[in-house]
Amino acid sequence: MAEGNTQFTDNVILFLHGATGPSTCDFDLSYKDYSWADLLVREGYVVYMSDYRNYGYSTREPAMDEPAAKNAPLSRSYLALRDIEAMVDHINRTHNVRKVTLIGWSWGAMMAGYCSSLHSENVQKLVLYAPLYNFNDDTNLGPGSALQNKRKPREFNFALGAYRVASEAANTGRWNGEIPVDNKDEYRDAALPAEFWKECMATDPTSNTRNPPSLRRMVSWKIPSIRRQAARYGTPETSMCRR
């Protein structure tokens, strides 16, 4: 919380991370001045960062410690939504506010929109950073990618199992593929990929047990048709820290 900031009106922010890394590496990277959370705190905002179930410092289900192929995909979007609802409720109770600004990155942007469509009365502002807006044109998830269900080309391949693992080389390779210049250092700090991945890996206690070291991440996160749910569900312990 920014020093001296005691007014909680429209200045409370909840960051929602993407499908690969948890909140710390996405929004609070300690490398140089890359912490978005620190920047907003200096501007006077109250900033929360969250990890959905099975991510980062949140509770991991027993299936996460089993071979991925043994179980169905975990942390589906409707489950992440329950976690976000619990986070927003906690923030509202803690600060006696009705609304929170949601900032989502990638899958987090999709989840922020999903949550806002169901609970607009709780959302002050909505920021969507790099959401998936055209599935067919997405180079990592769309038709022809490894995640495609070959029998139903517009759906994910749920047979991939409970989770996937991602190495630094794989993550950086995917990132490089989205940078439209040959020399990636012209676009991005040369040390940034390694620094980002180091902080992501630190959130997974099993990361160094695999060769190469890798981060466990969710395999699928389809957003269903929007319907208002009649019941509220309990959630496992999820990690949420305030800056």
CATH classification of the domain holding 124: 3.40.50
pLDDT at 198: 96
Cα-Cα-Cα-Cα torsion 163, 167, 171, 172, nearest 10 degrees, comes to 180
Which amino acid, 86? A
Strands (DSSP E) found in the chain? 12-16, 46-51, 100-105, 123-129, 163-167, 214-218, 239-242
pLDDT at 141: 63
Residues written for the chain: 243
Residue 14 sits at the vertex; the CA angle it makes with 12 and 16, to the nearest 5 degrees, is 165
Beta bridge partners of 48: 14, 242
pLDDT at 158: 76
User: Which residues constitute the domain of residue 162?
Assistant: 12-242
pLDDT along the chain (243 residues), means of 10: 50 94 95 96 94 94 94 90 95 92 94 94 94 68 72 77 93 92 96 96 96 88 41 44 61
55 part of a folded domain: yes
Look-up of token digits 């990592």: 140
Backbone angles phi, psi at 184, to 5 degrees: -65, -25
**How far is the C-alpha of 119 from the C-alpha of 113, rounded, in Å?**
10
Contact status, residue 26 vs residue 60, Cβ threshold 8 Å: no
3-state SS, residue 83:
helix
33 part of a folded domain: yes
Total-model pTM: 0.86
Which amino acid, 28? D
212 part of a folded domain: yes
Number of domains in the chain: 1
pLDDT at 61: 95
4 part of a folded domain: no
**How far is the C-alpha of 166 from the C-alpha of 215, rounded, in Å?**
5
Contact status, residue 1 vs residue 243, Cβ threshold 8 Å: yes
pLDDT at 233: 35
